[in-house]
């Protein structure tokens, strides 16, 4: 019976890992039910789920799912699963870091977009801007020189237009208005 139960748990974890390509591993320190409820609520607000797992069963499921995170499994362990195509891993890592400061959990590492992160990597991820902000910063850096060039070109033509307008205003009124052109030679009257 215990082997069947462990196989079912490993299979369920394997399915969760297929839908959650990003996983953060945390160490669970002793906490009461209210602390666990608060931890799960904060993670749920960021789009993540917490799974408390058995180390040996989880190592087998992770190995079968080709997620080499076995080194992070020591003591009471929890997996923070973040499903979705464009998850905000920075927000999840930031929430975990805030909870870790309260000495309720310890951050051990994780797997984010195919990269294995240690504790320092997860902390760096928490301090980094999210993907949308990074993309906006990149677009600004790329478009900045083009915007400057367009502004410079626009300034040249605008300056030329102002000079011509000032010259026209300085001309005498009769020179500024075009006279009636004499009739063309050979035109019938």
pLDDT digit string, tens, across residues 2-58: 688 777 877 777 777 777 778 888 887 787 788 888 888 888 888 788 877 777 777
CA 113 remoteness from chain centre: 12
Q: What pTM did the predictor assign? A: 0.62
Fold of domain 2-128: Alpha-Beta Plaits (3.30.70)
Indicate the domain borders of the chain. Answer: 2-128, 135-172
Tokens of 93: 């890592």
Burial of 38 (0-12, 13-18, 19+ CB in 10 A): middle
Q: Which residue has the tokens 């160490």?
A: 27
Residues, the chain, total? 189
Q: What number of helices (H) and strands (E) belong to the chain? A: 7, 5
CA–CA separation, 152 and 148 (whole Å):
6
pLDDT digit string, tens, across residues 52-108: 777 777 777 776 667 777 777 777 778 888 776 667 777 888 888 887 877 777 888
Identify the band that residue 1 occupies on the pLDDT scale cut at 50, 70 and 90. very low
């Amino acid at each position: 019976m215990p082997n069947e139960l462990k196989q079912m748990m490993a299979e369920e974890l394997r399915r969760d890992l297929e839908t959650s390509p990003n996983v953060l591993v945390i160490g669970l320190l002793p906490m009461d039910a209210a602390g666990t409820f608060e931890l799960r609520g904060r993670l749920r607000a960021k789009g993540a789920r917490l799974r408390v797992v058995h180390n040996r069963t989880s190592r087998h499921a992770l190995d079968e799912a080709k997620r080499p995170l076995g080194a992070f499994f020591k003591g009471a362990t929890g997996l923070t699963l973040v499903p979705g195509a464009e998850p905000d891993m920075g927000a999840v890592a930031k929430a975990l870091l805030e909870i870790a400061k309260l000495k309720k959990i310890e951050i051990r590492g994780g797997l984010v977009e195919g990269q294995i992160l240690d504790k320092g990597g997860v902390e760096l991820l928490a301090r980094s801007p999210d993907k949308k902000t990074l993309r906006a910063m990149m677009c600004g850096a790329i478009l900045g020189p083009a915007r400057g060039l367009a502004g410079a070109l626009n300034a040249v033509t605008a300056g030329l237009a102002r000079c011509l307008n000032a010259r026209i205003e300085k001309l005498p009124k009769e020179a500024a208005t075009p006279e009636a052109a004499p009739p063309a030679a050979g035109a019938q009257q």
